[in-house]
């Protein structure tokens, strides 16, 4: 599932292709993703220019010159592909279209749900196998009260986040620290993978209760959160050379995971002789080392 670093990578990868570009055509091949795609989205998008593309938590925010914001969530498996339709090979066997106005667009893959064509012939395709992604369009004035954004916690890589902020948000919680880290209301952008990685880095057990985490541990945690996310974004950046792959993949950072998906493999700390365990925790796989995470 794309988490903060992957969405940030998508954002950086897409930005040079879409910012300043005019949306010519919007096509959708189904009425819903996780939820209903808003009625009238086509009319609101076509003709508008994307002025900015930003990220908030795991959401992409396309600011349009019409005063609207297009918001997208990649869900569990959403990917955005960029292509240049001016370079697509023309199929010589295909019969000629009946004039330039008879232009049909068909999804190229079974899970391509949305295609947006731009005036410079760039195309972005939203592909989502599991369809947990979501899309909405709203007036920019209501950004702080939008249902997907209003309750989001601080961005971990900004000044809105610190060990003190973390401490105050978890000090009375009886939940597991790992569950809390994945709570978007507490902190925006973390999911299962990075919560596991951050806790291993901090040497804190995923089964510790929030209210038992002391000030020093909060400081260690806050530092690990920033460090792991920065490294992952850096690794994602290096996967951007092939811009067709901008969308939601884990990039090269997956090769550097310390615990995630490493069940049974020796813990990466040289001094630790233990191996990584996987336990089901609140319905998600938790990977950790019981020797160095206490
Ligand atoms: Zn270990």
> Residue 275 C-alpha to ligand 1 middle, in angstroms?
7
> What gap in Å lies between CA 24 and CA 48, rounded to an integer?
8
Strand partners, 139: 68
Residue 238: the pLDDT is: 56
> Residue 268 C-alpha to ligand 1 middle, in angstroms?
7
- Any idea which residue has 């610190």 for tokens? 162
> Residue 194 C-alpha to ligand 1 middle, in angstroms?
17
Residue 242: the pLDDT is: 44
Q: Total structural domains in the chain?
A: 2
Residue 155 lies in a domain: no
Residue 294 lies in a domain: no
Parts of the chain with a pLDDT under 50: 92, 95-103, 241-244, 248, 250
Residue 277: the pLDDT is: 98
Residue 15: the pLDDT is: 93
Residue 151 lies in a domain: no
In the residue annotation, 3 being an active-site residue is answered as yes
> Residue 179 C-alpha to ligand 1 middle, in angstroms?
21
Catalytic residue among 5, 8, 55, 58: 58
- Are 26 and 128 found together in one domain? yes
What does the DSSP 8-state code read for residue 96?
A: P
Residue 156 lies in a domain: no
Catalytic residue among 2, 5, 156, 206: 2
> What gap in Å lies between CA 194 and CA 284, rounded to an integer?
13
Residue 106: the pLDDT is: 79
Nearest to 15 by CA among 59, 53, 65, 70: 53
Which residues contact residue 145 at a Cβ distance below 8 angstroms, ignoring those fewer than 6 apart? Answer: none
Q: What interhelical angle do 192-202 and 215-237 show, nearest 10?
A: 130
CATH number at residue 280: 1.10.8.50
Residue 159: the pLDDT is: 97
Residue 84: the pLDDT is: 86
Tens digit of each residue's pLDDT (9 = 90 or more) over 99-149:
444 446 778 788 999 999 999 999 999 999 899 999 999 999 999 999 999
Tens digit of each residue's pLDDT (9 = 90 or more) over 73-90:
999 888 888 888 887 755
28 three-class SS: strand
Structural domain that includes position 137 = 4-145
In the residue annotation, 38 being an active-site residue is answered as no
In the residue annotation, 227 being an active-site residue is answered as no
Residue 239: the pLDDT is: 54
In the residue annotation, 2 being an active-site residue is answered as yes
> Residue 277 C-alpha to ligand 1 middle, in angstroms?
10
> What gap in Å lies between CA 21 and CA 116, rounded to an integer?
11
């Amino acid at each position: 599932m794309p988490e903060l670093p992957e969405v940030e990578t998508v954002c950086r990868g897409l930005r040079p292709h879409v910012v300043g570009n005019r949306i010519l055509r919007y096509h959708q091949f189904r009425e819903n993703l996780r939820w209903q795609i808003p009625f009238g989205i086509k009319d609101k998008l076509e003709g508008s220019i994307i002025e900015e593309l930003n990220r908030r938590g795991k959401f992409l925010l396309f600011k349009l010159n019409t005063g609207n914001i297009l918001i997208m969530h990649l869900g569990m498996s959403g990917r955005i592909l960029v292509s240049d339709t001016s370079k697509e090979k023309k199929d010589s066997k295909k019969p000629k279209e009946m004039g330039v106005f008879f232009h049909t667009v068909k999804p190229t893959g079974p899970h391509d749900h949305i295609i947006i064509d731009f005036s410079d012939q760039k195309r972005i395709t939203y592909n989502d196998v599991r369809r947990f992604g979501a899309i909405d369009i709203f007036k920019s004035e209501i950004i702080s009260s939008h249902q997907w954004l209003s309750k989001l916690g601080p961005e971990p890589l900004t000044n809105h986040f610190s060990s003190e902020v973390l401490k105050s948000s978890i000090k009375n919680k009886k939940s597991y620290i790992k569950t809390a880290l994945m709570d978007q209301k507490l902190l925006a952008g973390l999911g299962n993978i990075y919560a596991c990685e951050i806790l291993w880095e901090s040497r804190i057990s995923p089964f510790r209760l929030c209210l038992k985490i002391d000030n020093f541990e909060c400081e260690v945690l806050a530092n690990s959160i920033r460090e792991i996310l920065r490294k992952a974004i850096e690794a994602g950046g290096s996967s951007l050379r092939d811009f067709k792959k901008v969308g939601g993949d884990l990039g090269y950072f997956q090769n550097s995971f310390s615990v995630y998906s490493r069940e049974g493999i020796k813990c990466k700390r040289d001094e630790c002789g233990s191996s990584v365990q996987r336990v089901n925790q609140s319905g998600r796989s938790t990977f950790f080392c019981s020797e160095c995470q206490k």
